[in-house]
């Protein structure tokens, strides 16, 4: 289930893509299949292990994409903190931060880190729970959000755009996604997030069917309903194409840090 639109992100083979708060890797997998070299980062130990396992399986199955020059895409999975990313300045072409900023108290610092590691002219896709559907979930259930690691804020679109702009990024287009998932979570919140009722199970089967079969009926319904109550808000933002000096920030993630170092040497020799 993808929240980010890769066409709007302008993801192209051979690019270096950073997937922040990767979870179990859903966005990293698709980027890797499309020929991007992927760095997936999460704080959770199990999430890092799962993502690494599945990216390895994609590579072993020959399903990884290739850059336009025919070279194989690469991947790396690291455990790290979004408030102090272990990557060089201006080292990645694209960043995805999907459903993660609502968990971080200092979200502006996290956005500033995204701006720092993006190359000039690079683009980020930020996804967060949409205000209306999220407000309903909070009203129905404290259990939904008031827990360790839970959602600590509800974003409006203007707030997301303003905070991205405050760190030097230029917000662009936006859209909504996953309208079929909003009623599912309203139902879960109404009956109890941890309760497994027959109605919850039936709705979950519908979502699984939609995910695996992608039938025209549900795909059409979601396209129509997303603008009305899509559960996720997606905002794209660009880093202005003005060169900035590079500096290291902590221990680089393997080949990402190495590539930046080589570019610095090349630039200095010209």
As a whole number, mean pLDDT of residues 149-167 equals 96
**Does residue 27 form part of some domain?**
no
- 246 has pLDDT over 50: no
**Does residue 129 form part of some domain?**
yes
pLDDT for the residue numbered 149? 85
Helices (H), 61-197: 107-117, 131-140, 157-166, 181-191
Any idea what the Cα angle at residue 102 is, between residues 149 and 123, rounded to 5°?
130
**Does residue 44 form part of some domain?**
no
Q: Which domain holds residue 212?
A: 81-269
Percentage of the chain exceeding pLDDT 70? 90
Number of folded domains that form the chain:
1
- The residue with tokens 């905002």 is 235
Are 93 and 238 spatial neighbours (Cβ–Cβ below 8 Å)? no
- DSSP letter for 72, please: B
Between 135 and 71, the higher pLDDT residue = 135
Write the CATH number for 109: 3.40.50
pLDDT for the residue numbered 256? 53
Q: Is 190 helix (H, G, I), strand (E, B) or coil?
A: helix
- DSSP letter for 11, please: -
- 173 has pLDDT over 50: yes
**Does residue 4 form part of some domain?**
no
Give the model confidence (pLDDT) of 39-97 as tens digits.
999 999 999 999 999 999 999 999 999 988 888 899 999 999 999 999 999 999 999 99
Are 32 and 55 spatial neighbours (Cβ–Cβ below 8 Å)? yes
Q: For 126, how many CA atoms within 13 A lie in the half-sphere containing its CB?
A: 30
């Amino acid at each position: 289930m993808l929240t980010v639109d890769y066409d709007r992100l302008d993801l192209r083979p051979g690019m270096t893509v950073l997937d922040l708060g990767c979870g179990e890797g859903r966005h990293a997998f698709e980027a890797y299949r499309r020929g991007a070299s992927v760095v997936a980062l999460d704080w959770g130990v199990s999430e890092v292990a799962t993502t690494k396992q599945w990216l390895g399986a994609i590579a072993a199955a020959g399903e990884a994409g290739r850059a336009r020059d025919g070279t194989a895409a690469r991947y790396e999975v690291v455990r790290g903190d979004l408030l102090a990313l272990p990557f060089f300045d201006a080292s990645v072409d694209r960043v995805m931060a999907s459903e993660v900023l609502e968990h971080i108290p200092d979200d502006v610092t996290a956005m500033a880190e995204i701006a720092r590691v993006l190359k000039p002219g690079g683009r980020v896709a930020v996804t967060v729970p949409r205000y209306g559907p999220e407000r309903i979930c909070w009203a129905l259930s404290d259990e939904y959000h008031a827990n360790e690691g839970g959602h600590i804020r509800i974003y409006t679109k203007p707030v997301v755009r303003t905070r991205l702009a405050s760190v030097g990024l230029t917000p662009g287009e936006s859209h909504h996604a996953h309208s079929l998932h909003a009623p599912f979570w309203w139902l879960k919140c109404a009956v109890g997030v941890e309760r497994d009722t027959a109605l919850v199970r039936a709705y979950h089967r519908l979502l699984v069917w939609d995910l695996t079969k992608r039938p025209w009926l549900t795909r059409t319904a979601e396209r129509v309903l997303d603008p009305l109550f899509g559960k996720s808000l997606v905002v794209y933002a660009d880093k202005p194409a003005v060169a900035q000096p590079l500096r290291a920030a902590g221990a680089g993630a393997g080949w990402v840090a190495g590539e930046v170092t080589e570019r610095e040497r090349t630039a200095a020799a010209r």
